[in-house]
Structure 1
C-alpha cells in the first residue's frame, strides 16, 4: 500500500513539473510577443546579436580569430547612432529563433532571409539587401542547369533559406538530385570543402556568399554559378515581435546610414561595385 502511495505521489509531482514547464514556455513566448526591451538595451549600453560566424562575407572569423563582415560593420554603425555597443554571439543556426525567443540574444543579424514561415515567429526590420539562392558547382562537372544535377549529390546548410526552398519547390532541383535527399551541413565552409574534394557535386548557397567566396579563390574559373529559377529574397534583421521600438530604431538607423553615405562605403568595402542594397538615400534625418 505504501509503495502505491509513493508511486502516486511521484506521478503527481511529475505531472506538476510538466505543467510548470508548459506554463513557463507559454510565458516566454508571450513575453517575446509583447515585451518591448529597448529601454533595457539602452540602459545596458549594448545589444546582443546572434550570428553564424562562418557566413562569408556577412559575418565570419578571419584566420586570427577576429570577427568581421558586412553585417558586423552595418550593425555596429547602426547602434553607434544610439550610443549602444553591438556584441556578437555565435549561435547554432538551427536554434536561432529559439535563442531569440528565449532572450539569449536580442537580434538575428547575419544574412537572415525574410520568409513566410519566419514571419509567423518573429518580426523583421526593413529589408536591406537583395539575395538569391544559386547552385555552385565545379566547372569540370559541366553542370549548366539544375537538371544537370540528375543523380548527383547536392549540399545545403541546415535550416537555411536554401534548404526551405528545396523542400517547397521540389520539382526545380530536389527531384533531380541523388535519392532526392541533400547532404546537410552546419556551415557553408564545410560544404565548400566537400565540393572542392568532390564529395558533393553541387551546393545550394546564397549568391552573396558564393560571389565573395569564389572571388577570393586562387582559380575562380574552376567554379560555375547556376542561377536556376529560384526567386530572389531579401535580407533583414530578425526581431522579437514585442520589440517594436527596437525595430523602429534599426529601420531609422539603416536609413540614416544611407543618407550620410556610410551604407555606400560599407557596400563598396565588401562588394566592390556590385550594389545589392535595397536602401537608397532620402535626405531625411533619423532621430533618436
Structure 2
C-alpha cells in the first residue's frame, strides 16, 4: 500500500513539474514583449543571413562577409547605435531562428510573401528585383517571345524556376523543349557564352552584379520579362514593433542620404536601387 502511495505521489510531482515547465513555455511564447530596451542595453542586433547569396550577402575572395544587404544592415545599425552581429543560419529555419530569439532580424534578400507574413513582421520594402533573361549580345533575343526554338537554362529550386512553372504565359509557352536545370548560375552563364543556351533565367540582382564585376569572354545583355517582381524587406518578430519602426526610419534615412543609391551602383551596376 505504501509503495502504491509513493507511486501516486511521484506521478503527481511529475505532473506538477511538467505543468510548471509547459506553463512557463506557454507564457513566454504567448506573452512576448517588445525587445527594444534589451537590444539597446546589449547594443547589438543579431542578424540572420545566408552567406552564399550573391550579391546580397556572401564571402569575398578573402572570406570577408560582403554584399548589398550586409552593407545596408551595417549602415542602418550605425544610425540606431547598434552593432550588427551577423549569424549564418540554415535558411530553411530562418523564421524559427527569429521567433526563438537566436536572431533579432532576417536581412538577406528576404522576399515578402503572404505565407511569411503569418510568422514575421516586415519593415517597409526597401528593394525590388525580378527575373530576367541573360543572353549573348548577339543572340537576337530581345524579348521572351524570341526564345522560340532556343534552349533555356534555369537554376534548380530557384525562385525563377518556380515562376517559370507557375506563370507559363510569360515564358514557358514560347519554348519547344524543357529548360536545362543547373545547380549554380555560373555553369549556366558559361553555357550561354559558348552558345549551348539561348539564355538563362536569372535573378536580376545576380545578373547585374555579374555584368558589373566579371570579365566576359563574350558580351552579354539583360532582357526583361513579365514575371511579377519580388519585394525585399527586413523580417522581425511581430512583437518587436519598436525595432520595426526604428528600422523603417533608418532605411528611409539611407535612401535620403544616398547610401542606398551608392550601394545599388556598387553591387548592381545601376545608380538607383530597383524599387
Shorter-chain TM-score: what band? 0.7 to 0.9
Taking a change above 3 Å as real, the CA distance of residues 179 and 267 of structure 1, as seen in their structure-2 partners, is: closer
User: Within 1, Cα distance between the matches of 2:201 and 2:29?
Assistant: 35
Change (3 A) 1:223 1:164: same
Aligned-pair RMSD on alpha carbons?
3.8
Which of 166, 169, 173 matches 1:168?
166
Contact preservation (8 Å) 1:45, 1:83 = yes
Aligned pair in 2 of structure 1 residues 194, 165: CA closer, same or farther (>3 Å)? closer
**Residues 1:247 and 2:244 are matched in the alignment:** yes
Counterpart-to-counterpart distance in 2, 1:236 and 1:274: 20
Shift of 1:78: 0.9
- How has the CA–CA distance of structure 1 residues 143 and 267 changed in structure 2, closer, same or farther, with 3 Å as cutoff? closer
Matches within 5 A, 1:1-288: 30=29, 34-138=32-136, 143-147=141-145, 148=147, 152=151, 154-156=153-155, 158=157, 161-174=159-172, 183=181, 185=183, 190-197=184-191, 201=197, 202-219=199-216, 221-271=218-268, 274-276=271-273, 278=275
Distance 1:175 1:94 in 2: 31
Cα shift at 1:65? 0.5
Distance 1:36 1:56 in 2: 32
Q: Which structure: larger Rg?
A: 2
Unaligned runs of 5+ in 2: 1-18
SS of the equivalent of 1:57 reads coil
Would the aligned equivalents of 2:48 and 2:105 in 1 still touch at CA under 8 Å?
yes
Cα distance, 1:162–1:35 mapped onto 2, change above 3 Å = farther
SS at match of 2:248: helix
Report the TM-score, using the length of structure 1 for normalisation. Answer: 0.71
Report if the CA contact (8 A) 1:112-1:235 is conserved.
yes
Q: CA deviation at 1:180?
A: 5.5
1:49 shift after superposition: 1.4
Specify the SS of the correspondent of 1:113: coil
Mapped partners of 2:125, 2:209: distance in 1 = 20
CA distance in 2 between partners of 1:138 and 1:149 (Å)? 16
Contact 1:157 1:163 in 2 (8 A): yes
Does the CA-based 8 Å contact 1:28-1:101 persist in structure 2? no
**Residue aligned with 1:231, SS:** coil
- In structure 2, what is the Cα distance between the partners aligned to 1:46 and 1:104? 13
8 Å contact kept, 2:188–2:200: no
Report the Cα offset of residue 262 of structure 1. 3.7
